[in-house]
Amino acid sequence: MHRLLKRQLEKIGYTKGKLSEDRMKKFISFVDREYYDNDEDRVLLENTLNASSKEMQGLYKQLKETSENQLAQSEEKYHRLVKNLQSYYFFYSHDADGIVTYVSESITKMLGYSTEEFLKHYLEYLTDDPINERVEEYSNKALMGINPPPYELSIFHKNGSVLYLEVTEHPVFNDKGEIEAVECIARDITSQYKAKEEIEHLAQHDMLTGISNRLHLEEQLKYLISYSKRNDNKFAMLFLDLDHFKQINDTLGHDVGDKLLQEVAKRIKKNIRSEDIFARIGGDEFIIVFTDIEETDLTASIHKILDLIHQPWHIEKTVLNVYASIGVSVYPQDGETAVDLMKSADIAMYKSKELGRNNFTFFTHDLNEKVHEEMKLEQDMPNALSQNQFELYFQPILNLESNEVVGAEALVRWNHPVWGLTYPEKFIKIAESTGFIIKLGTWVIEEGCRMLSKLNAMSAEKINFSVNVSTRQFQQGDLYSIIKSALKKYGVEPGQLSIEITENLLLENHENIINKLNAIKSLGVNISMDDFGMGYSSLSYLHRLPIDIIKVDKNFVMQISEDGGKAVLLDTIIAMGKSLNKTVVAEGVEYEYQRQYLIKNGCINYQGYLFSKPLKESEFSQIIARRR
């Protein structure tokens, strides 16, 4: 019996017998009520289900409509995006053999080819640019199931121009998990690539001349040294510096100087091999590297470079005659690194300048020792003054006819703690380059005035001293105040002091130089031009300068022959000095026949080993003491 029915019968008192009529009526009434209750529950459930069904149908319809709208919008955006990107992207795929099996129609707009052309001839369109060498490597990675990083390739446009693409590849798997193809997206990056190339070019090349700069030179040398080491190869480095380039800038202007540098670079580049290296490393300094000197007549090649530089330059209606100094180092004996080779060539170049410019010098280890010595001198120089290591020597200046001492040239010496007595040619250039010359020059002027004061006390007949003033000291030091202060401090008459300048000073700002000379001259001090005749500006500027004394360079004195023959240039200088009312002093007189020739031709004073070498203070004082 069903448990529900059994429960209903028990409620009306049914056990296991028959039901009475009264109880049967109760049973039927109870069952009837249960059916009604059940109908109400069923109807309620049906109504609920109907409402839910309608709601679900409405919701489904709403979701379907929304999804369709969103899908349509997405498709519209996709098509619009693809349409807009046709000029910059195309899509293609290739199989496991690298054969292109599909390409999007945007290929035509981007590269000019039809899809059929690209499918058939894709590989033929690739350029021989080195960046294409890794295309196969990246494609193979994709075929192995690896997503390679985006890579660049170079390809010809149908019109012949070259485009650069960035390609991204993705492997495509079938239902079995096997790779059946590779899908590729190619993006046009030509403008970005060219911009990058331009930036790299600017970073590696000199902006003025367009040739390699120092950074690119160092990179090129790194590879050349590596190659030469492996192949037992030799190469030569030339360090080239234009002579007197600063004067061109100062007198003609930086525009002319820049144009000259451009033309120099152009002329040299045109006359060296394509495999050689050529760079500008700053100012008027260039590096030329002959990459294989076994195939190069090195000396002849260097002479050719010097001749190229010396040929006339026509710059903005001006004809310039320019010279160069070259230092040469050779790999590997003069250095095994770029830094060492450049240093060696630089050392040799400065030696060329010392030899008279328009010259070249090969680096030697003796030169290297000289550089180390100069470095030591530069290091010791700042303390040398405070430690009283400098002293003045005095070379007597005599009247030619009476042979009496009338003055002296004060010459500085350095009693170096390591090298002993050191002459100016060893340290003056270092002092010039470091700026120490200003302090040293001030000391020389003050010490010279002190010595004059001492000698004045020894003799009633006053003598004159001349002191050398460097170009840098003249330009940057307050020479007027220094001289004025020294004269006052030691009570020396201004006419007893002469300052010696060189003709190189006249190559600078002429008006400024003349103004400074006039100011010093106003103190009563004499102005002397040293080494007269060795420069090219002497005759043109001498009449404009407040010069009192002309010192004839010893090279002209050496032209005097013992047989009494004419020294034409010397005679001309003496005659010119006399006509301008200048005192002429001959330097470097070593023989009596030279003295007699100078007397005969009207020279006034002389100095040189004929009478005396430069003397210590005590030795010169004894000469003056004997005059009393």
Would you kindly state where each structural domain of the chain is located, as residue ranges? Answer: 89-196, 205-363, 379-625
* Average predicted confidence (pLDDT) for the chain: 86
Placement of tokens 């030697």 in the chain: 364
Give the other-Cβ count within 10 Å of 188's Cβ.
19
Higher pLDDT, 492 or 90: 492
Taking only the tens place, the pLDDT of each residue in 149-163 is 899 999 999 999 999
CB atoms within 10 A of CB 121: 11
User: Residue 198 belongs to what H/E stretch?
Assistant: helix 190-204
Q: Residue 540: which pLDDT band, with cuts at 50, 70 and 90?
A: low
Give the integer Cα–Cα distance in Å for 182 and 295.
Answer: 51
Q: What is the pLDDT of residues 355-391, one digit of tens each?
A: 877 899 999 988 878 777 888 899 999 999 999 999 9
Please confirm whether the linkage preceding 614 is cis (ω < 30° from 0): no
d(CA 378, CA 372): 10
Provide the token pair at 580.
């301008």
Question: Is beta strand 313-315 parallel, antiparallel or unpaired with respect to 100-103?
Answer: unpaired
pLDDT level of residue 40 (50, 70, 90 thresholds): low
pLDDT of residue 147: 85
In CATH terms, the fold of domain 205-363 is Alpha-Beta Plaits (3.30.70)
Q: What is the pLDDT of residue 536?
A: 46
To 5 degrees, how large is the angle CA 523–CA 524–CA 530?
105
> pLDDT: is 10 or 472 the higher one?
472
What's the CA gap between 574 and 569, in Å, rounded?
9
**Residue matched to tokens 């009570």:** 491
Helix (H) or strand (E) holding 40: helix 21-84
- pLDDT of res. 234: 94
pLDDT number for residue 59: 67
User: Residue 297, Cβ neighbours under 10 Å: how many?
Assistant: 11
Mean pLDDT over 538-546 rounds to 68
pLDDT of residue 34: 63
Structure tokens at 377: 């001198």
| Mean pLDDT along residues 103-112 | 87
Quote the percentage of the chain above a pLDDT of 70.
84
Nearest to 397 by CA among 578, 243, 219, 526: 526
Q: Please report the beta strands in 174-276, taking only residues with DSSP state E, as ranges in sequence order.
A: 179-188, 235-242
Residue with the larger pLDDT of the pair 392 and 353: 392
If you average pLDDT over residues 568-586, what whole number do you get? 90
Confirm whether 89-196 and 205-363 share one CATH topology. Answer: no
The answer to whether 419 and 395 have CB atoms below 8 angstroms apart is: no
CATH classification for the domain delimited by 89-196, as one of 1.10.20.10, 3.40.640.10, 3.30.450.20, 3.40.50.300: 3.30.450.20
- Does 458 score more than 90 pLDDT? no
Write down the pLDDT at residue 484. 97
Select the more confidently predicted residue: 46 or 206: 206
| Mean pLDDT, residues 324-340 taken together | 95
Q: Is the pLDDT of residue 265 over 80?
A: yes
pTM of the full structure: 0.53
| High-pLDDT (> 90) share of the chain, % | 48
Q: How far apart are CA 144 and CA 234, in angstroms?
A: 46
Answer whether residue 539 shows pLDDT above 80: no
- pLDDT in the model for residue 537: 47
Of 532, 524, 525, 544, the C-alpha closest to 501 is 532
Cα–Cα distances in angstroms (integers) from residue 136 to residues 99, 127, 130, 184, in the given order: 12, 14, 13, 13
Count CA atoms closer than 13 A to 607's CA, side-chain side: 25
Angle of helix 338-354 relative to helix 214-231, nearest 10 degrees? 110
Taking every pair of C-alpha atoms in the chain, what is the biggest distance, in angstroms?
A: 184
More confident position, 204 or 37: 204
379-625 fold:
TIM Barrel (3.20.20)
Q: Is the pLDDT of residue 204 over 70?
A: yes
Q: Over 90: is that where the pLDDT of 313 sits?
A: yes
Residue 162's closest CA among 195, 194, 117, 196? 194
